[in-house]
Amino acid sequence: MSGTFTKSMARNIFFGGTVFFALLFLALTFDSMQAIPKRDNHANLTPAVVAGKKVWETNNCIGCHTLLGEGAYFAPELGNVYKRRGPDFIKAWIKSQPTGAPGRRQMPNFHLSEQQLDDLVEFLKYTSEINTANWPPNIEG
């Protein structure tokens, strides 16, 4: 860098650029907040879904699974599991863990109550109905 480009010029560009792009990001966020209600399936955000999200969180499901592609990559995507497996299978599966099959990846048994299982299923149903721009590419997640 030549002598004509001074440190104080670099500093001014830093502050100017950062402020400009931070404000642009805030503007896009503001616009997103207006647009998200059209896609986020909030009409179905029932008390059961809220309770189900808590079951999801307090059992650290994200520690093995992905949800809309975010989380750990050890176990299947669950954003669309409601569509892949249906409510009864999900409940039966969770209740029957761990499989104990030697050498296979094991899911703990979280000792969920019937109510918690129903709430969790409601949460997964709600999640599967969020408009995710057609992600994942197919039902296998």
Partner 1 sequence: MQYSSQAVAKPYFVAAIGLFIGQVLFGLIMGLQYVIGDFLFPAIPFNVARMVHTNLLIVWLLFGFMGSAYYMIPEETETELYSPKLAITMFWIFLVAGALTIVGYLAVPYAELARMTGNDLLETMGREFLEQPLVTKLGIVVVALAFLFNLTMTMLKGRKTSVGLVLMMGLWGLAVMFLFSFYNPSNLVMDKYFWWWVVHLWVEGVWELILGALLAFVLIKVTGVDREVIEKWLYVIITLTLVTGIIGTGHHYFWIGTPEYWQWWGSVFSALEPIPFFAMTVFAFNMVNRRRREHPNKAAVLWALGTGVMAFLGAGVWGFLHTLAPVNYYTHGTQITAAHGHMAFYGAYAMVVITLISYAMPILRGRAANSNKAQVVEMWSFWLMTIAMVFITLFLTAAGILQVWLQRMSTNPMPFMAAQEQVALFYWLREGTGVVFLIGLLMYVASFFIGGDEASQKAS
Judge contact between 121 and 50, C-beta under 8 A: no
CB of 87 to partner 1, least distance (A): 18
Got the DSSP string for 61-111?
GGGT-EETTEE-SSS---TTHHHHH-HHHHHHHHHT-----TTS-------
Which residue, 76 or 87, is less far from partner 1 as judged by CB? 76
- Give me the residue label for tokens 């994942």: 136
Which residue, 59 or 91, is less far from partner 1 as judged by CB? 59
From residue 132, how far is each of 4, 33, 91, 101 by CA, in Å?
A: 49, 16, 25, 35
